[in-house]
Structure 1
Amino acid sequence: MDVELAEERVLILADRFNMDHAEGRAWTKRTDAFGTMAKITGFLSRPRDDDHEVIYRERRLQPFFRIGCTATMTYERRKDYRVAVDANVTNVEIDGRMHVVTGGAYTLTGTETCHDEIHREVYYDAISGSPDPSAAQYLQHEAKVIDAAGLAKAAAEGAVVVPPAAKASMLVRDVLASSIERIEADKVLEEKLSLHHIDLYYRPVYAFRYRWQGKEAVVEFDGVTGETRTGGSTFEQFLGHKIDAEFLINAGVEAAGIFIPGARLAEIVISKSLKAQKDKKN
């Protein structure tokens, strides 16, 4: 089996808004963040601005993974074809070979050449490791490749850079495994897995924690789409943390070295050079 690995990348999505705009939008949702009772209270008696206190503001870079894969299989298999004939036919001669008719048909044996391609592109929340199809919407927006130094600079400027808790190699393995189907073959001519994308994206999120009547709630503002939602989280525990430059290294290589259920037992050939990864470790 040949495995072609894409270059592992870290990308950051462009922020379309600033803190002031985000806070203004979040402020309009502050009552909703405290649930039904707060809405009822607000309906009966309009709350004053000083009823809600902003006790924490955060601009963070939140991660998700994009993993794209194509499985290609070319193989041969022998197959019998039943050819129906008229009821009074007893034999059929084709290319000098006589075929006996039984049950109103005769049998031809041939060799089929088959070619299958399976394409998969999966998005994962890089914190929980759960599939997150909604992350596909961010690919419509501008993003640029960034490295650990760039993320460290963002952290130094006050952004909370959330590290991925999910292990990239395990996610890659799952995508590879789900891209392989069992085949009926007498001879395999080609079996290849191509990883097109092993990308870790960071998207900007603004979060505001409010206090009202002794309770706390969070409103998040998406720095890319401009959407505002309640019930979010804050990640101040990562504020000022050192950026780990090794979080993506060998994601694809590690996964390729794990047996993939359903795959033909064959030597796995890694066609991507590992020199760049070795250089990073030196």
Structure 2
Amino acid sequence: MSKLEVRPENHKIFVFNKVFEFASAKQQAEKKKLNAFGMFAKFNPLKRPTDETVLLKEQILRYEPFWFVESKRQVDYSCAVTYSIPVHNPHTTAISIQQTGVEQASYPVIRHQDKSKAEVQVVEHCHRAIHYSNYFDGLKREIKPSILADYIKKFNHDEVQEVAMDNVLQPLLSVDELTSFVRSSLQNQVINATNIESDLEEISSLYVYFRPVYAFEYHWSTADKVGVIEVDGLTGEILENGHWFKGTFDQAFTRDNLIELSAELASTVVPGGGTMVKIASKVIP
């Protein structure tokens, strides 16, 4: 049975301090607003968006989540194997391993052409530590982990006990999905064992970060279409094919909520089921 250990001190929430203000972000979005409807629309000679037909509909500063998880699996196990011991004395017919106070076992020497060996059955007592860490976009987008790691290295962020700002997006990647994926990655590490004596997994870090992103929704009147320009509140980077996410927290999300959710996971490990997590899909409330 694999056991998951969850410690409250390993759960943290961080919020980034925005670098760019609303006015600056809006100015950048206005320059790119005609690109919010795709390249085909921009270069369509018959009907294309113009400054007069594309107007700002809504604007928002939202906080988008991403995860950092670090985990360790420690396994104590034994493995029954046969050691081949070379025997150099041509006159040896058998070997025995000396052990005080214990009856000695004798192992015959096997000869093949000009080589000799004895095969000794032993039990290896082993300990293995498997480490795993990664970053995950909380909105299930294909964002490289290195990009998320760079946010942490380059920009100021504060640890908080709760997130109570307006327009904080709720993670689409829930705690149970995240933890199940990490545990599956740990279990994919093959351990050749005759007997597993203990198998302990620990979530050494479960952090959620919220970063500021400006979103500007534009309406193209002649085509009756909407498009979104996003401006990263940290780097100022512009995303022309943005999204208007609506799933925000109804109330403050606290560190205690995070601890409670992962504690539920730790209590649902099934004996004999490896690291299978037997729970219903859960989204952070």
Residue 36 (structure 1) shift: 2.3
Structure-2 residue corresponding to 1:33 = 36
Q: Does structure 1 retain, via aligned residues, the 8 Å contact 2:72–2:132? A: yes
Structure-2 residue corresponding to 1:207 = 215
Q: How does 1:107-146 map to 2 (within 5 A)?
A: 107-128=119-140, 133=145, 134-140=147-153, 141-146=155-160
Equivalent AA in structure 2 for residue 196 of structure 1 = S
TM-score of the pair, normalised by structure 1: 0.74
Q: How does 1:69-218 map to 2 (within 5 A)?
A: 69-85=71-87, 91-95=93-97, 98-102=106-110, 104=112, 105-128=117-140, 133=145, 134-140=147-153, 141-148=155-162, 151-152=163-164, 154-155=165-166, 160-180=167-187, 181=189, 183-186=191-194, 188=196, 190-212=198-220, 213=222, 214-218=224-228
Equivalent AA in structure 2 for residue 226 of structure 1 = G
Q: How does 1:216-227 map to 2 (within 5 A)?
A: 216-227=226-237
Q: Does structure 1 retain, via aligned residues, the 8 Å contact 2:4–2:266? A: no
Q: How does 1:24-63 map to 2 (within 5 A)?
A: 24-40=27-43, 49-63=51-65
Deviates more, 1:99-108 or 1:211-220: 99-108
Give the 3 Å change call, closer, same or farther, for CA 132–169 of structure 1 in structure 2.
farther
Residue 226 (structure 1) shift: 2.3
Give the 3 Å change call, closer, same or farther, for CA 95–237 of structure 1 in structure 2.
closer
Give the 3 Å change call, closer, same or farther, for CA 168–130 of structure 1 in structure 2.
farther
Q: Does structure 1 retain, via aligned residues, the 8 Å contact 2:169–2:246? A: no
Q: Does structure 2 retain, via aligned residues, the 8 Å contact 1:100–1:106? A: yes
Unaligned runs of 5+ in 2: 99-104, 277-285
Q: Does structure 1 retain, via aligned residues, the 8 Å contact 2:77–2:126? A: yes
Residue 186 (structure 1) shift: 4.8
Identity of aligned residues (%): 25
Q: Does structure 1 retain, via aligned residues, the 8 Å contact 2:67–2:206? A: yes
Equivalent AA in structure 2 for residue 138 of structure 1 = Y
Secondary structure at 2:274 match in 1:
coil
How far, CA to CA, are the matches of 1:45 and 1:79 in structure 2?
75
Describe the superposition over 1:58-109 as per-residue Cα deviations: whole angstroms up to 9, x where unpaired: 1001112222101112333232112345796662435466531235332023
The count of residues paired between Structure 1 and Structure 2 equals 255
How far, CA to CA, are the matches of 1:241 and 1:2 in structure 2?
30
Give the 3 Å change call, closer, same or farther, for CA 29–75 of structure 1 in structure 2.
same
Give the 3 Å change call, closer, same or farther, for CA 64–99 of structure 1 in structure 2.
same
Structure-2 residue corresponding to 1:253 = 263
Give the 3 Å change call, closer, same or farther, for CA 236–72 of structure 1 in structure 2.
closer
Q: 1:242 aligns with which of 242, 251, 254?
A: 251
